Amino acid sequence: MELRLLRYFVAVAEEQHFGRAAVRLHMAQPGLSHQIRRLEHDLGAELFLRTTRRVELTDAGRILLGDARQILAHADRASAAVARAVQGEVGLVRIGFVSSAALAATPRLAHALHERAPGLKLQLDELTTEAQLDLLRDGALDVGLVREVVAAPGLVVQPLLRERLYVALHHSHRLAAHRSVALEQLAGEPFIVFPRKRVSLLYDHIAGLCQAAGFTLEAAQEAVQFITILGLVAGNAGVAIVPDPLRALQLPGLRYLPLEDEAATSLVSIACRPGVRSPAVQKVLATATAIFPGEAA
């Protein structure tokens, strides 16, 4: 049985009139009558009792009507599901993100995707930028929210936003009463930093800013997690330079001051493999660029 014949049959059964059913189906009545006779021939059963004024279902027709409605409903749902898949509104996307993006960029993107494609499933993994780049190349990740990456071999990188950098210091620090701080004022300070072997891009970026300000960054302590770094600062073990969203983490004895230097920003980008064909991944990429317009300038 062809789906279109079942649609014709249901229309005639519900209208109980070939003329009204033909109008509803936007087709000529003789053509509709021919198609119904064809369906009856294929099934080997008469489906309608025809009179000059109306048509009535036979016993066979009544049995077919219930099944026909279910079949058409299933077909419509399948068609709609395929359409959603083509539009990238369903499927699974594996997204990596740096821990510093967990408080701003990642939830902002996840919220936008929930609104625009609620059927899309996101598998979110907190990873360093370096780890994400390797997993993206290996195909173990679909998309990565990375920091301090402008270009990466074998990947497509799109800048999303620039975040101001702040210095985190203990409330008893000599600069704590200031409203802002220039990087040169931090010369000689003990810094709490990421291990360069694991977070080399952000480490090198901050070290480069210090070098441009006329001094060499002095690492007093290393930690992988931002919360650990900030905990050490709150314990007066040193100072740290962190992106703006980290100011949401408030600890006793901790102060954040904006850095005055024009270059004291941190770049968040989105990365993926080239030639992405998955509509779901394309939906994530398009949404990311749409919700951060011009914020990487």
Return the amino acid letter for 11.
Answer: A
**CB neighbourhood size of 250 (10 A):** 10
Collapse the DSSP code of 62 into the 3-class scheme (helix H, G, I; strand E, B; otherwise coil) and give the result.
Answer: helix
**HSE of 96, CA atoms in CB hemisphere, 13 A:** 23
User: How far apart, in whole angstroms, are the C-alpha atoms of residue 170 and residue 239?
Assistant: 8
Residue 261 pLDDT: 94
Beta strands at 265-272 and 156-170: parallel, antiparallel or unpaired: antiparallel
**Considering the domain boundaries, does residue 297 fall inside one?**
no
- Note down pLDDT in tens along the chain; length 297 residues: 789 999 999 999 999 999 999 999 999 999 999 999 999 999 999 999 987 778 899 999 999 999 999 998 998 888 777 777 666 677 899 999 998 899 999 999 999 999 998 889 999 999 999 999 999 999 999 999 999 999 999 999 999 999 999 999 999 999 999 999 999 999 999 999 988 888 788 899 999 999 999 999 989 999 988 899 999 999 999 999 999 999 999 999 999 999 999 999 999 999 999 988 899 999 999 999 999 987 776
Residue 40 is inside which H or E element, if any? helix 29-43
251 within domain boundaries: yes
Tell me, yes or no, whether 70 and 115 share the same domain.
no
Q: Is 103 exposed, middle or buried (0-12, 13-18, 19+ CB in 10 A)?
A: middle
- Tell me: do 151 and 166 sit in the same domain: no
Please tell me whether residues 210 and 242 are part of one structural domain. Answer: yes
pLDDT of residue 76: 86
CATH number at 52 reads: 1.10.10.10
Same domain assignment for residues 9 and 134: no
Please give the pLDDT value at position 138. Answer: 95
Q: Is there a single domain that holds both residue 121 and residue 175?
A: no
Closest to 89 (Cα-Cα) out of 290, 289, 281 = 281
Number of domains in the chain: 3
Residues 167 and 142 grouped into a single domain = no
Q: Look up the CATH number of the domain holding residue 115.
A: 3.40.190.10
Residue 296 lies in a domain: no
Q: Is the dihedral of CA 30, 34, 39, 41 positive or negative?
A: positive
Return the structure tokens found at 284.
Answer: 């994530």
Q: Is there a domain that residue 231 lies in?
A: yes
Same domain, 177 and 260: yes
Domain closes at, from 86, 114, 139: 86
Same domain, 246 and 180: yes
Q: How far apart, in whole angstroms, are the C-alpha atoms of residue 209 and residue 213?
A: 6
Residues 238 and 181 in one domain: yes
Residue 283 CA to residue 277 CA, distance in Å, equals 11
> Do the domain assignments include residue 48?
yes
pLDDT of residue 75: 87
**pLDDT (0 to 100) of residue 224:** 83
Confidence (pTM): 0.74
One domain for residues 245 and 197: yes
On whether both 151 and 275 belong to a single domain, the answer is: yes
Supply the pLDDT for residue 38: 94
Whether residue 205 is contained in a domain is answered as yes
Q: Which domain holds residue 182?
A: 161-265
Strands 48-50 and 91-97: unpaired
Q: Is residue 193, in this structure, part of any structural domain at all?
A: yes
pLDDT at 210: 95
53 plus 134 within the same structural domain: no
Task: Answer whether residue 169 is part of any domain.
Answer: yes
